[in-house]
Amino acid sequence: MPTASRDIIVSNSLGLHARPAMQFVDTANRFHSRVTVSKGGEEPYEADGKSVMQMIILAATQGTPLRINADGDDAEAAVNSLAQLFADKFGEE
Amino acid sequence: MKLREFIVPEAIVPELSASNRDEALRELVLALSGAGAVSPAAVDPIVAALIAREQGGSTGFGKGVAVPHVKHAAVKKMAGTIGRTAAGIDFTALDHQPVYTIVLLLSPENQPQQHLQAMNVVFSNLQKDMFRRFLRQSTNRASILELLEEADLGK
């Protein structure tokens, strides 16, 4: 099974609050791959990238490094699309 | 962060009289105002902002809970409350199911990190089946507070 992962940094000033979390999950759901997002540091956590609740629990503030992981036939495409959301700051500042 | 750092005990509404989403939002903001957490003049603009937020995307994230929240200039200090409804309210939730428990959170505009921390502790607890079940079954303020206390200790 193909896997892909990408390291990104949360760059929008409000961080990964509910709206971006939902946007992430909506995008993740367009792919068959299993998607997880992991956070290291003092409170490591791995969120199911298709669960809004778990994505919000990441509490990823601006500047937080995260790793997007995908596992499945479309893993590479999923990671590309999801990383692009962070690059675009979810349409925020 | 602990739930009791921002949930205002006097503003908890164990049985909402509201029968729809917008009424429920107003009832909970009024409760926060009654408890002194937000000024009476701020109630209308905050309720309007909460409704606009819901229209932009429901905070009914499934499993019978909704977490309406907004960052607003009229909010000086982060404040939250909890409302319960035995009958269930339509929040156009993601899973299309009625909402029985509402955790409402108001944050100042310039504290995104504090807001994310509060959302973290709310959702960490709402993820737990036992917490959700007990919250839904708690019919008075004292038992809700007891549940929050236990959740805070367990974290």
Judge: B61–A52 Cβ closer than 8 Å, yes or no. yes
C-alpha closest to that of B85 among B59, B64, B55? B64
The answer, for A9 touching chain B at a CB cutoff of 8 Å, is no
How many angstroms separate the CA atoms of B9 and A66, rounded? 35
For the residues B130-155, what does the mean pLDDT come to?
A: 93
**What's the confidence (pLDDT) of residue A55?**
95
Q: Does the ipTM exceed 0.90?
A: no
CA distance A2 to chain B (A): 30
Q: What is the arithmetic mean of pLDDT over A35-63?
A: 93
Cα separation, B48 vs A47, in Å, equals: 32
- Bridge-partner residues for A66, per DSSP? A8, A39
Nearest-angstrom CA–CA distance, B133 and B148: 13
Q: How far apart are CA B116 and CA A14, in angstroms?
A: 9
Task: Characterize the bridge pairing of strands A65-71 and A3-9.
Answer: antiparallel
Q: How far apart (Å, rounded) are the C-alpha atoms in residues A27 and A19?
A: 12
Write the single-letter amino acid at B145. Answer: L
Mean pLDDT of B29-56: 97
Q: Does A72 touch chain B (CB under 8 A)?
A: no
- Residue in the structure block whose two tokens are 């107003």: B26
B88 φ/ψ angles, rounded to the nearest 5 degrees: 90, 145
Contact check, Cβ <8 Å, A57/B124:
yes
On the question of pLDDT at B155 being above 80, the answer is no
CB count, 10 Å around CB of A70?
27
pLDDT band at A1, cuts 50/70/90? confident
Q: pLDDT value at position A41? A: 86
Per-residue tokens: B117: 């921390």
Chain B residue at shortest CA distance from A50: B61
Mean pLDDT of all residues in A21-43? 95
3-state secondary structure of B71: strand
Q: Is B126 part of the contact surface with chain A (CB cutoff 8 Å)?
A: yes
Q: How many CB pairs under 8 A join A and B?
A: 46
Alpha-helical segments (H) within chain B: 21-34, 43-56, 112-126, 129-137, 141-154
Give tens-digit pLDDT for B91-118.
999 999 999 999 999 999 989 999 999 9
Catalytic machinery residues of A = 17
Rg (CA), chain A: 12
* Mean pLDDT over the full length of chain A: 95
Contacts A60 to B, Cβ<8 Å: 116
How many angstroms separate the CA atoms of A42 and A61, rounded? Answer: 14
Cα–Cα distance for residue pair A48/B16, rounded to 1 Å? 33
| Partner-chain residue, chosen from A22, A57, A62, that has the shortest CB–CB distance to B120 | A57
pTM score, two decimals? 0.92
pLDDT of B34 reads 98
Instruction: Tell me the shortest Cα–Cα distance from A80 to chain B, in angstroms.
Output: 25
